[in-house]
Amino acid sequence: MAKHKRTSTTVRSRRTRLAAATATAAALTGGLLAVTATTASAAPADPLPSHEADFNGDGVADLATSAPGANVGGKDSAGQVTVTYGGSTLRHKTFSQNSAGVPGSAETGDTFGYDTAYGDFDRDGYDDLAVGAPGEDVGSDKDGGTAQILWGSANGLSGGTTVKDPRPDGHDYFGGPIEAGDFDGDGATDLAVGARSGAATIDVLNGKISRSSGTGTSRYTVKPAIQSGEGAGPFNLHSGDVNGDDREDLIVDGYSTGDGYNANLWVPGTADGLKTTDQQRLPGGIITDVGDTDGDGYGDIVIGLEWDDEIAGSHKGGSVYVVHGAANGPYGDTQIFTQDTAGVPGTGEKGDVFGGELDLGDINGDGHLDLVVGAPGENLDGVADAGSATVIYGKKDGSGLSTDGAVFLDQNTPGVPNSNEERDYFGADIHVDDLNGDGRGDVMVGAYGENGANGAFYPLTSKSDGSLTGSAGVYTSTVGISATGTPRLGANFAD
C-alpha cells in the first residue's frame, strides 16, 4: 500500500486507496498511481440541494460512477463513466472518449473518469459533468492530461468540450484531481483543476465556461502549501463552506511543504476567489467531505485518516476526524471515530482502511446529516479485503454525529446484494444521494475488486426507518462496459 510520507520512491494515489496493486494504477506511468451555450428547452423542476447532481433537470438526483481502467475499443485503461439517472427506475448510460460528441478518442492509459465533478458550468439550469483523463497524451506531450465537460440537458448528458489547459508545459496529468464549487460566492459554480506532476498549482476556471472554447469568464491560480514534482501535487480536492460566509472553500490534500507528510489544507473562498493567505493545515487523510453535522451554520470537515500508524492521529485500522467549522474557519472542536470507538461496530485491525472513503448525507430523512465510512481493506470471516461500510447517524436533535445505532454493512448483510469475496474492496467508494426522490439519501457503495476487478457498485435504498436494502448490484455487464482487463467500476463516484 502507498505511504503517507513522501520519500524519493514514494507516491500517493488520490482516490483509490489500494491502487498500488491495481492495473488502473499502472495505467498512469511515470511514477504516478492511478487511478456557445445553448438555451435549455425547459426549466428544471424543484432545484436539488447543492450536493446532488441533476443532469436532466427532472428534480431527482443522478449519479456518475467511474471505471477508469475500462478497456474501450481494445485500449486498456482508456476509461469510462456510467451515469445513472434517478427515478422510480434507475437508467444507466455509459460514456467514453469514443462516445458521440465526447472530444478525442479512447487511448491506452487515458483513465477517463479518474476524477469527476459536477455543477452547472454553462449556467443553463442543468448540471454538467466534468471528467478528468490525466493519462491523456496531448499531442507530443505524453501523459499531459486533460479534463472535459459533458453537458447537461433535458435529455441528460450529451456532447462535450475540452477544458483549455492554460499551462500545458508546466505539468503532466492535468485533470487529476478536479473539483467544483462557488469559491467567490457569486452564485455560480467554478471549476478547480489540479495536476499530479509538476508545480503544485491549481487552476480555477471562474464563472461561466464556454461550450465552444472550454474557458471560463476568467481564470486564476492558487498554490497551497503542498509539495510539487513527480508523484506529488494535489491528490484530492473537496469543497464546502466551512466558515459560514456563503463562499465555498477548498480542501486540498497533498504532501505538506513543512515536513513531507500527508496533510489537508483549508484554503478559504473570498469575494475574489480562493486565497492561500489564511490557509490552515488539518490532519492528513486522502478523502474528505464537508457538511454541517451539528447544525451551527458552519461546515465541518470530515477526514478519512486511513493509516494504521506512523502519522499523527493514526489508529490501527484507520480513523475519521470531524473538524468542526467556525466563523474563522476549521477551529472548532474535533470528533474522532475509529472501529474501537464505543458504539462503532467491529474492531480496528491493521489494514482495514477505515476512512479510506466516506460521504455525508441525510439517510433517514430527519433533516440531519449522517456519515457513511468505507473500510475496503476489512477482512471478514477469513475473507481477505472483502470490505465493509459503517453508517454513523446524526443525533435526532441535530447536535452532531453519534455512534448510537451505528450500522455495519458488508455483502453478507441481509439486503445487500452478492456475498463477501476475497479482494472485492466493498467500500472502495461511498456516495449518498436521493436517487428515488423520496426525501431520504440512498447509499451507493463501490466495490472495484468485484468479479476479478471488473468492479461493481451497489445502490442501497433508504427506508423510512433508516434501514438500507438493495435488490441488485450494478455490474460491468449491466452498463455495457467490457470485462476485458480490469475496468474497476465503482472506483469513484462524482462529488
**HSE-CB for 248 with a 13 A CA cutoff:** 25
Q: Hey, what's the cell of 277?
A: 493567505
| DSSP code at position 312 | T
Q: Hey, what's the cell of 467?
A: 434501514
Whether residue 417 has a cis bond before it, omega within 30° of 0 = no
Q: What is the pLDDT along the chain (495 residues), one digit of tens a residue?
A: 345 877 543 323 333 333 322 332 333 322 222 233 333 334 344 444 456 999 999 999 999 999 999 999 999 999 999 999 999 999 999 999 999 999 999 999 999 999 999 999 999 999 999 999 999 999 889 999 999 999 999 999 999 999 999 989 889 999 999 999 999 999 999 999 999 898 899 999 999 999 999 999 999 999 999 999 988 999 999 999 999 999 999 999 999 999 999 999 999 999 999 999 999 999 999 999 999 999 999 999 999 999 999 999 999 999 999 999 999 999 999 999 999 999 999 999 999 999 999 999 999 999 999 999 999 999 999 999 999 999 999 999 999 999 999 999 999 999 999 999 999 999 999 999 999 999 999 999 999 999 999 999 999 999 988 799 999 999 999 999 999 999 999 999 998
Instruction: Report whether 484 contacts 477 (CB < 8 A).
Output: no
Instruction: Report whether 197 contacts 229 (CB < 8 A).
Output: yes
Can you tell me whether residue 252 is helix, strand or coil?
A: strand
Please give the single-letter amino acid code of residue 69: G
- How far apart are the two ends of the chain, measured CA to CA in Å? 25
